[in-house]
Structure 1
Amino acid sequence: MAPMGIRLSPLGIGVFCLLGLGVLYHVYSGFLTGKFSAFLLGDRAEDPGPGEDTVDLRELLAVSVRAAELGGLEVKKVRESNSLNEKAKGKTMEGADDKMTSGDVLSNKKMYHLIKNAFPALKVNTEEKVEADDEDAVSWDRNIPDDIKEQIKTKHVASESITMWIDPLDATQEYTENLVNYVTTMVCVAVNGKPVIGVIHKPFTGFTAWAMLDGGSSIKKRNSYNEKTPTFIVSRSHSGEVKEVTRQTFGNKTEIISAGGAGYKVLSLLDVTDDKQETADVYIHVTYIKKWDICAGNAILNALGGQMTTLKGEEIMYTGSELNKGGLLASIGMDHGVLVEKLAEKLQVNAKKPAK
């Protein structure tokens, strides 16, 4: 008996051709987005190229700067009109009132919606609650400032790897006291939990600092720091036992500056062209602190060669919980490891002391 051959009907031939075209389309699309090569290599490409599920970090930096500035305008407007509508949201870890004003709310609304309208797929964590029906038509004009264009190259990352942290009004306590020089608005971009873009804006002086890891910056570190007898900067309203710990660790004559706002304190470590900005060598905080307070500063320090860690020298990851529970130590132009070692010795001694 002769072997039977396989015959395809016209319908079968049509289906086969469609399947083949489908495979070619996906391969071609993969090359366009830069992901097919990553698939062949068994991992994502470093820059997967433009696509619906990627974001250009240069564009995201430009949006972050604009968001911080827009939020700052709201903050300034509310303070100058003296229409704060101040209220307490609860208590901080140190037992102080956790305040909120119209400045916080309106700034948060502008900043959050500008970013979400420009990049809807991104996860955005913000200090103030955003109501589902509280929309804002604010949009990004797609303008990239010249200083960003000159320094930053296009770099695409997967949208799913990005977490953004917004602080619409840092130093609310000082804001209510009209100590406006401490006030900042901040935006941070973390990729896989690591801070890579930071923006700190001072609404009442117009100064803006931004930096991108492995990119560029609008700010730089100072020419010198005092390693032998560093000046420390600490919180004036959420200090806990930070002054006691600092002096016991680094000497009773250690100079300590009390200031409001985590953003302001990070700027004190840098070369800021603002005559109202104090300067310090090390920023220390010994109690819990929210990640939207510190992410932008962490990103800027990392980009400039500095460090921000827990008191034990651990890297702070910007995913999951909004709380950083390990305290904070930030420096640049210093031997960060030596600072951590001295603190570790002090913390170990305190841990051995019986509770009172």
Structure 2
Amino acid sequence: MAPMGIRLSPLGVAVFCLLGLGVIYHLYAGVISTRLAALRGSRTVDLRELLALSVDAAVQGGKEVKIVHEGHALEQRSKGKTKEGADELLTTGDLQSHKKMFNLIRNAAPDVTVYSEEHDNTVDKTAIWSREIPAEILEKVEGGREAPAGSVTVWIDPLDATQEYTEDLVKYVTTMVCVAVDGKPIIGVIHKPFTGFTAWGFVGQGSNLRPRSSYSVVAPKVIVSRSHSGKVRSFVQEAFGNSTSITEAGGAGYKVLALLEPPPGESDSVDQADVYIHITLIKKWDICAGAALLAALGGQMTTLKGEHIDYSGTALSKGGLVASVGVDHKALLERLPNGA
């Protein structure tokens, strides 16, 4: 008698193979996932290159902001209300700048985490960084400084001061990029699209700006938000007196620049202040770049209670903020009222 054999149909073979693959997947999926995560964690990014990339992204985003404004194609709409009841506006300028900045950074540094104020995830593979590092960065920043990709968080504000942008108050408008390592702001870039100036700072390395020669903490000039001020005026007057000079301005990036020595050609387009105070909720993409820029120049940006702000995880920063440079930051904090 001839030996009996088992014959499988092509369908049976396919089912058998799929079952086998399923068993293998369940056995090894965890191992593969762990190894991929470890590989990502072992990759590093060059921070000088990331600074140059951030500068280019801010500039390229700024070009989009300016093109939309000059073409009168803002198409503004509200994306919600702030806690103070003001409209949070969105324009074509915000979106076009976001697409350019987000894709430029994502394509050049795919292993880092990127957060942007806007949420259009349209992929644009044509947004390619030239990998050119500006001469002033090569001169002031050492090469070879790296960080694990998994520890890096990049915060993008594609258009800071959107309200003012819609009102033609373009001196307040900036585009910003911040690089945080383990939650600490290390690199800050603030670009002014309508003058073309770009401020940058790298903590421990340098900046293309500097603090002014003198500041006052006895009777400081205080700069605050013009659209999200809350009760900041009474708060500031309680701290420093009813005659305190208070300037209302748009954009967190602009207000940080007001604390610094303006470069040639910029003195007429930026107010001057000794301290920047904000007492309501604020988003981290609004303040991270300014925090890094000030830190690079020996300044500080903290909550009203002097706590450091962690630039990882959630986008919302609570506890208000106090920003200063060239003064005793602790002395400023001690003069603030207990409640905001």
Superposition TM-score, scaled by structure 2 size: 0.85
Q: Does 1:172 align with 2:162?
A: yes
1:135 Cα deviation from its structure 2 partner: 2.6
> Structure 1 residue 95 and structure 2 residue 100: aligned?
no
Give the CA deviation at 1:227: 2.2
Partner AA of 2:302 in structure 1: T
Shift in Å, 1:134: 3.8
8 Å CA contact 1:171–1:184 kept in 2: the answer is: yes
1:152 maps to which residue? 141
Equivalent-residue separation in structure 1 for 2:120 and 2:76 (angstroms): 18
What is the letter of the counterpart of residue 320 of structure 1? G
Unaligned 5+ runs, structure 2: 1-40
Which residue does 1:257 correspond to in 2?
247
- How far residue 226 of structure 1 moved from its aligned partner, in angstroms, is 1.6
1:279 corresponds in structure 2 to 272
CA separation of 1:87 and 1:227: change in aligned 2, threshold 3 A? same
| 1:214 matched residue in structure 2 | 204
- 1:328 shift after superposition: 0.5
Which letter maps to 2:201?
A: A
Aligned twin of 1:347:
338
The answer on whether the counterparts of 1:222 and 1:270 sit within 8 Å (CA) in structure 2 is yes
How do 1:294-309 and structure 2 match up within 5 A?
Answer: 294-309=287-302
Structure 1 residues 1-356: aligned runs within 5 Å: 53-131=43-121, 133-154=122-143, 155-273=145-263, 274=266, 275-343=268-336, 346-347=337-338
Deviations 1:239-262 (A, max 9, x none): 000001000111000000000000
Q: Which amino acid aligns with 1:292?
A: W
Q: Distance in 2 between matches of 1:111 and 1:320?
A: 20
The separation in 2 between residues aligned to 1:134 and 1:217, in whole angstroms, is: 32
Q: Secondary structure of the equivalent of 1:85?
A: coil
Superposition deviation, residue 200 in structure 1: 0.2
- Is this contact kept in 1: 2:76–2:91, CA < 8 A? yes
Partner-residue secondary structure (3-state), 1:257: strand
Alpha-carbon distance in 2 for matches of 1:278, 1:250: 19
User: Which residue does the alignment assign to 1:29?
Assistant: none
Tell me the CA shift for residue 136 of structure 1.
4.3
Shift of 1:94: 1.1
**Is the 1:109–1:136 Cα contact (8 Å) retained in structure 2?**
no
Determine helix, strand or coil for the equivalent of 1:340. helix
CA contact (8 A) 2:217 2:332 kept: no
8 Å contact from structure 2 (residues 291, 301) kept in 1: yes
Q: Kindly indicate whether the alpha-carbon contact (under 8 Å) linking 2:49 and 2:133 is maintained by their aligned counterparts in 1.
A: yes
Whether the 8 Å contact between 2:155 and 2:179 is mirrored in structure 1 is: yes
In the aligned structure 1, how far is the partner of 2:49 from the partner of 2:123? 25
| Alpha-carbon distance in structure 2 between the residues aligned to 1:237 and 1:298 | 21
Counterpart CA distance in 1 for 2:123 and 2:169 is 30
Instruction: Output one character per residue of 1:174-201: Cα deviation in whole Å (capped at 9) or x when no partner.
Output: 0000000000000000000000000000
Q: Which residue of 2 aligns with 1:21?
A: none
Deviations 1:102-139 (A, max 9, x none): 000000000000001101111000000022x4434110
Deviation at 1:52, TM superposition (A): 7.0
CA shift for structure 1 position 228: 1.8
Q: 1:313 to 1:52 in 2, by over 3 A?
A: closer
Query: What letter corresponds to residue 279 of structure 1 in structure 2?
Result: Q
In structure 1, C-alpha distance between the alignment counterparts of 2:176 and 2:77, rounded to whole Å = 22
Contact preservation (8 Å) 1:234, 1:242: yes
Whether the aligned pair in 1 keeps the contact of 2:256 and 2:290 (CA below 8 Å) is yes
CA contact (8 A) 1:110 1:136 kept: no
1:326-345 Cα deviation digits (max 9, x unpaired): 100000111110111111xx
The number of residue pairs the alignment matches comes to 296
- If the length of structure 1 is used for normalisation, what is the TM-score? 0.82
- What secondary structure, in the 3-state scheme, does the structure 2 residue paired with 1:186 have? strand
Q: Which amino acid aligns with 1:225?
A: Y
Contact 2:103–2:123 (CA under 8 A) maintained in structure 1: no
Contact 1:168 1:186 in 2 (8 A): yes
